[in-house]
Structure 1
Amino acid sequence: MATPSDVVAAAQKLSFTIPQGHETDYLALLGTTDRAVAAVMAHADYQIAVDEVQYPRRNIHRPLPEDNKLKGWAWKATIQGKQGGILDGRKVCLKDTICVAKVPSLFGTTAIEDFVPVSDATVVTRVLEHGGTVVGKAMCENFSHGPTSHSTPFGPVENPYAGGFSAGGSSSGCGALIGSGEVEMGVGGDQGGSIRIPASLCGIVGLKPTFGLVPYTGVLSSDPAIDTVGPMTRTAADAALLLQAIAGYDMIDDRQLGAPLPANVPKYSELLLSSREHSAKGLKIALLKEGFAQSSVEVDAKCRSAIAKFEELGAIVEEVTVPLHLLTTHLTHILNKFASSQTRQGRQVSRRGLYINEYWETLLPWTQDKLEKAKFYVTGTAMSAEYGWSRYPTAYGRAMNLSRRLRDEYDAVLSKYDVVMMPTVPTAARRHAAYDAGPLAWAEAAGEHLPPSVPFR
Structure 2
Amino acid sequence: MGDLYKVPAIKLPSVDQLQELSRSLGIQCSVEELEDYREHMKGLTETYDRVSRLEGPSLPVKYPRTPGYRPCPQDNKYNAWYWRCDIKGAESGKLAGKTIAIKDSVAVAGVPMMNGSKILEGYVPEFDATIISRILDAGGRIIGKTNCEDLCLSGSSFTNVTGPILNPNDPTKTSGGSSAGSAVAVATGEADMAIGGDQGGSIRIPSCWCGLAGIKPTFGLVPYTGASSIETTIDHLGPIAKSVKDCALLLEVIAGFDEGRDPRQYPSIQVPEYSKLVTNDIAGKKIGLVKEGFEGCEPDVVSQVQKAALGLRRLGAEVEEMSLPMHSEGVHIWTLITLEGADKCMIQGNGMGYQNKGFYPFSLQEAYARGIKARPQDLSETVKMMILYTGYVSQNYQNRFYAMGQNQNIMLTKAYNKALETYDVLVMPTLPFKASKLPTSKDTRQDRLNLALKMAKNTAPFDITGHPALTVNVGFSQILPIGMMIIGRHFDDVTVLQVGHAAEIAKFLS
Partners of 1:434 and 1:443 lie apart in 2 by 13
Q: Deviations over 1:381-404 (max 9, x none)?
A: 111211222233221122112112
Partners of 1:196 and 1:132 lie apart in 2 by 23
Corresponding residue number in structure 1 for 2:229? 221
Q: Deviations over 1:106-125 (max 9, x none)?
A: 11011223211111011000
3-state SS in 2 of match to 1:164: strand
Partners of 1:11 and 1:296 lie apart in 2 by 57
Partners of 1:65 and 1:298 lie apart in 2 by 35
| Conserved 8 A contact 1:178-1:185 | yes
Match of 1:397 among 403, 407, 418: 403
3-state SS in 2 of match to 1:395: helix
Deviation at 1:305, TM superposition (A): 1.9
Match of 1:46 among 17, 36, 57: 57
Corresponding residue number in structure 1 for 2:348? 345
Aligned CA distance change for structure 1 residues 84 and 366 (closer, same or farther; 3 Å): closer
Corresponding residue number in structure 2 for 1:388? 393
Which residue identity lines up with residue 333 of structure 2 in the other structure?
L
Deviation at 1:307, TM superposition (A): 1.7
Deviation at 1:247, TM superposition (A): 0.5
1:85-124 matches, cutoff 5 A: 85-124=93-132
Partners of 2:376 and 2:339 lie apart in 1 by 16
3-state SS in 2 of match to 1:318: strand
Which residue identity lines up with residue 428 of structure 1 in the other structure?
K
Corresponding residue number in structure 1 for 2:15? 4
Partners of 2:47 and 2:18 lie apart in 1 by 17
Q: Deviations over 1:24-72 (max 9, x none)?
A: 2333355455433333334455322322xxx111361111111111111
Moved more, 152-161 or 383-392: 383-392
Corresponding residue number in structure 2 for 1:16? 27
Match of 2:264 among 255, 260, 279: 255
Partners of 1:116 and 1:286 lie apart in 2 by 46
| Conserved 8 A contact 2:105-2:115 | yes
Match of 2:293 among 284, 291, 294: 291
Corresponding residue number in structure 2 for 1:443? 449
Which residue identity lines up with residue 15 of structure 1 in the other structure?
G
Aligned CA distance change for structure 1 residues 356 and 152 (closer, same or farther; 3 Å): same
1:182-201 matches, cutoff 5 A: 182-201=190-209
3-state SS in 1 of match to 2:378: helix
Deviation at 1:376, TM superposition (A): 1.2
Match of 1:265 among 263, 271, 284: 271
Partners of 1:179 and 1:13 lie apart in 2 by 54
| Conserved 8 A contact 1:338-1:396 | yes
| Conserved 8 A contact 2:15-2:31 | no
Partners of 1:241 and 1:88 lie apart in 2 by 11
Match of 2:75 among 38, 50, 67: 67
Moved more, 420-429 or 297-306: 297-306
| Alignment of 1:425 onto 2:431 | yes
Corresponding residue number in structure 1 for 2:362? 357
Deviation at 1:293, TM superposition (A): 2.0
Which residue identity lines up with residue 340 of structure 2 in the other structure?
F
| Conserved 8 A contact 1:424-1:451 | no
Partners of 1:297 and 1:29 lie apart in 2 by 69
Q: Deviations over 1:156-211 (max 9, x none)?
A: 00111110211111111101111111111011111111101111111111100001
Which residue identity lines up with residue 287 of structure 2 in the other structure?
I
Corresponding residue number in structure 1 for 2:383? 378
Supply the RMSD in Å over aligned alpha carbons. Answer: 2.1
Which residue identity lines up with residue 266 of structure 1 in the other structure?
P
| Conserved 8 A contact 1:248-1:259 | no
Partners of 2:427 and 2:226 lie apart in 1 by 33
Aligned CA distance change for structure 1 residues 200 and 451 (closer, same or farther; 3 Å): farther
Which residue identity lines up with residue 381 of structure 1 in the other structure?
M
3-state SS in 2 of match to 1:214: coil
Aligned CA distance change for structure 1 residues 303 and 114 (closer, same or farther; 3 Å): same
Moved more, 203-212 or 323-332: 323-332
Partners of 1:363 and 1:75 lie apart in 2 by 20
| Conserved 8 A contact 1:104-1:117 | yes
| Alignment of 1:203 onto 2:211 | yes
Deviation at 1:366, TM superposition (A): 5.6
Corresponding residue number in structure 2 for 1:135? 143
Aligned CA distance change for structure 1 residues 300 and 258 (closer, same or farther; 3 Å): farther
Partners of 1:235 and 1:200 lie apart in 2 by 12
| Alignment of 1:36 onto 2:28 | no
Corresponding residue number in structure 1 for 2:335? 333
3-state SS in 1 of match to 2:461: coil
Partners of 1:436 and 1:50 lie apart in 2 by 47
| Conserved 8 A contact 1:377-1:439 | no
3-state SS in 1 of match to 2:385: helix
Partners of 1:227 and 1:94 lie apart in 2 by 16
Partners of 1:209 and 1:367 lie apart in 2 by 31
| Alignment of 1:148 onto 2:156 | yes
Q: Deviations over 1:268-304 (max 9, x none)?
A: 00100xx32x2x4433111111111221222212211
| Conserved 8 A contact 2:19-2:31 | no
Match of 2:324 among 300, 319, 322: 322
Aligned CA distance change for structure 1 residues 284 and 174 (closer, same or farther; 3 Å): same
TM normalised by structure 1 equals 0.92
Aligned CA distance change for structure 1 residues 24 and 418 (closer, same or farther; 3 Å): same
Deviation at 1:357, TM superposition (A): 1.2
Deviation at 1:101, TM superposition (A): 0.6
Match of 1:77 among 76, 85, 104: 85
| Conserved 8 A contact 1:100-1:120 | yes
| Conserved 8 A contact 1:148-1:167 | yes
